[in-house]
């Protein structure tokens, strides 16, 4: 039994972390926050250069042929760096859907471009079915799709969209005919959203049937990968607050010496460790294709959502007034934690999924 990543994996993680420290700076993230860019393309290209985008993709399609464990560690670092990049949409969701559903020619057409960062993908295949806006369920007519999608992550910058229509998985080129899109202001502007309407838009069919099962598998994988992003972000927020508490003086001593502050930080640490345990278990289930994946993925997502929410909220609070200024990064965590918590279905949806798994009920 060895419930940890190996040394090669840790070295790769270190390398990604170093790169992100250099490139995914607060200034780079804030360019996206302020609306000056759809994403942090500098960091994105660096990730591509390191082979991080294609780390889990086959070598023959431009990937590194390593695996999903490595992608988990890259996700953790991206989360830690608050990277404003389309990893979820382009890699965890669309590249994975293509890898699992598409034929070799389709993979050959798109995976090299996604792995190299030349193209960006997004996907609307999560099963949460939670709607605040009126939409139109995806309808496939042969090779033409009609649908209205809201809150599509990176929808304005994406080149292709993978969608689930009934039991079919299809790929839409977003520059093509019948597609109109408009930005939807995001509560985390560093992770933008869009409305995409397809009106009998031509599609490539990736899987005419069995698409729902693949979508479910991809969504579970995304839940694990997002959990790593959340763990990375949570840990960053935790240690930022810890560092602040060691330096900030009140009543003649560092506030980190006050037990209320110490214990709050201890609770945050504990939440992160719990989340890390579930995330690792999810990574194992994902990488080995274990039948435990649905429950492990849901648990990873729930524990990580709890940890990041706690660390973002309480990390900001421990900074006091300055933590609520725009200049500090605390609110970036608050926004990102919320975004990550809801983007493929909120905690209530994942809680119900985990409950069904534990109880042994069918959906």
Partner 1 sequence: MDFNDTAAEASFRNEVRAWLAANAAPRVGAEDKFGDGLDHAAYLAAAKEWQARKAAAGYAAIPWPREMGGLGGTPAQQIIYAQEEARFLVPSLVFEVSLGTALPTVAMWGTDEQKQRFLAPALKGEDIWCQMFSEPAAGSDLGNVRTRAVRDGDDGGDDWLLTGQKVWTSGAHFADYGIVLARTDWDKPKSKGLTMFIMDMKAPGVEVRPIRQATNDAHFNEVFMNEVRIPDTMRLGAEDQGWKIMIGTLMQERFSLGEQFGGDLYNRLIALAKQVRWGGRPAIQNDNVRAGIVDCYLRQFGVELIVKRGMSAISRGESPGPEMAAVKLVGARAFQTGGALAVELGGAEGLIAAQDLGQQWALPQTLWLSGAGARIAGGTDQIQKNTIAERILGLPGEIRTDRNVPFRDLESG
Residues 6+ away with beta carbon under 8 Å from 324: 316, 330, 331
The CA radius of gyration of the chain, in Å to the nearest whole number, is: 20
Beta-carbon contacts of residue 226 (< 8 Å; ≥ 6 apart): 75, 88, 92, 301, 304, 340, 343, 344
Strand partners, 196: 149, 181
C-alpha to C-alpha distance for 246 and 156, rounded to whole angstroms: 42
Tokens for 233, please give them: 């972000």
For residue 140, what are its two tokens?
Answer: 């496939």
**Using rule CB under 8 A, residue 7 touches partner 1:** no
Q: Does 258 bind a second copy (CB under 8 A)?
A: yes
Q: Residue 75: which of 227, 193, 295, 197 has the closest Cα?
A: 227
Out of 4, 129, 142, 259, which residue is the one contacting a second copy (CB under 8 A)? 259
Rule CB under 8 A: say whether 260 interacts with a second copy. Answer: yes
CA distance 89 to 23: 20
The least CB distance from residue 14 to partner 1, in Å, is: 17
Compose the 44-83 pattern: x for residues touching partner 1 by CB under 8 A, - for all others: -------------------------x--------------
Spatial separation of the C-alpha atoms in residues 345 and 334, rounded to whole Å: 18
- Applying CB under 8 A, what is the total number of residues that bind partner 1? 95
* CB nearer a second copy, residue 175 or residue 260: 260
The listed partner (a second copy, partner 1, none) that binds 123, CB under 5 to 8 Å by sort, is: none
**What's the N-to-C CA distance of the chain in angstroms?**
33
Q: In sequence order, which ranges of 201-258 are alpha helices (DSSP H)? A: 211-247
- Count of chain residues binding a second copy (CB under 8 A): 4
Residues near 142 by beta carbon (within 8 Å), at least 6 away in sequence: none
Nearest residue (CB) to partner 1, 25 versus 127: 127
* Token digits of residue 96: 């994975």
Q: Does 246 bind a second copy (CB under 8 A)?
A: no
The only residue of 36, 259, 289, 291 in contact with partner 1, by rule CB under 8 A: 259
Residues 134-163 that bind partner 1 (CB under 8 A): 150-151
Residue 351 CB, shortest distance to a second copy, in Å, is: 16
Residue 346 touches which of partner 1, a second copy, none (Cβ within 5-8 Å per kind): partner 1
Spell out, one character per residue from 167 to 186, where the chain touches partner 1: x when CB under 8 A holds, - when not.
-----------------xxx
| Residue 144, strand partner residues | 141, 202
Which one of 49, 104, 141, 266 is in contact with partner 1 (CB under 8 A)? 266
Q: Are 222 and 96 in contact (CB under 8 A)?
A: yes
Q: Smaller CB distance to a second copy: residue 260 or 363?
A: 260
Q: Is 263 in the site for a second copy (CB under 8 A)?
A: yes
Min CB(345)–a second copy separation in Å: 23
Q: Are 206 and 97 in contact (CB under 8 A)?
A: yes
200 binds partner 1 (CB under 8 A): no
Q: Which of 17, 80, 217, 278 binds partner 1 (CB under 8 A)?
A: 278
Nearer to a second copy, 31 or 248 (CB): 248
Q: Tokens standing for 188?
A: 């985390």
Question: Which of partner 1, a second copy, none does residue 54 bind (CB under 5 to 8 Å by kind)?
Answer: none
Residue among 208 and 266 whose Cβ is closer to a second copy = 266
Q: Which residue's CB is nearer to a second copy, number 36 or number 359?
A: 359
CA–CA distance, 123 with 91 (Å, rounded to integer): 10
Binding site for a second copy (CB under 8 A): 258-260, 263
């Amino acid at each position: 039994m060895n419930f940890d990543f190996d040394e090669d994996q840790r070295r790769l993680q270190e390398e990604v972390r170093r790169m992100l420290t250099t490139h995914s700076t607060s200034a780079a993230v804030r360019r996206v926050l302020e609306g000056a860019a759809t994403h942090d393309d500098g960091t994105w290209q660096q990730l591509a250069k390191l082979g991080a985008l294609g780390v889990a993709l086959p070598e023959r399609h431009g990937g590194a042929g390593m695996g999903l464990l490595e992608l988990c560690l890259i996700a953790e670092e991206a989360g830690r760096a608050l990277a404003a990049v389309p990893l979820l949409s382009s890699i965890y969701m669309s590249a994975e859907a293509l890898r699992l559903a598409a034929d070799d020619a389709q993979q050959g057409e798109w995976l090299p471009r996604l792995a190299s960062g030349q193209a960006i993908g997004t996907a609307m295949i999560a099963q949460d079915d939670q709607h605040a806006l009126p939409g139109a369920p995806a309808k496939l007519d042969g090779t033409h799709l009609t649908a209205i999608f809201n809150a599509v992550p990176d929808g304005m910058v994406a080149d292709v969209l993978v969608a689930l229509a009934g039991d079919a998985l299809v790929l839409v080129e977003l520059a093509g005919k019948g597609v109109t899109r408009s930005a939807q202001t995001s509560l985390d502007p560093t992770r933008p959203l869009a409305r995409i309407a397809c009106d009998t838009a031509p599609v490539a069919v990736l899987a005419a049937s069995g698409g729902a099962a693949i979508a479910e598998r991809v969504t579970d994988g995304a839940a694990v990968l997002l959990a790593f992003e959340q763990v990375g972000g949570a840990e960053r927020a935790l240690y930022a607050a810890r560092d602040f508490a060691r330096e900030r003086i009140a009543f003649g001593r560092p506030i980190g010496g006050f037990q209320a502050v110490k214990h709050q930080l201890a609770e945050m640490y504990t939440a992160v460790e719990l989340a890390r345990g579930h995330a690792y278990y999810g990574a194992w289930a994902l990488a080995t294709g274990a039948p435990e994946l649905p429950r492990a993925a849901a648990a990873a997502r729930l524990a990580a959502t709890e940890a990041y929410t706690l660390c973002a909220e309480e990390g900001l609070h421990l900074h006091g007034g300055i933590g609520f200024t725009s200049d500090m990064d605390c609110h970036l965590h608050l926004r990102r934690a919320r975004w990550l918590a809801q983007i493929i279905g909120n905690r209530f949806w994942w809680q119900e999924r985990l409950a069904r798994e534990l109880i042994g009920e069918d959906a």
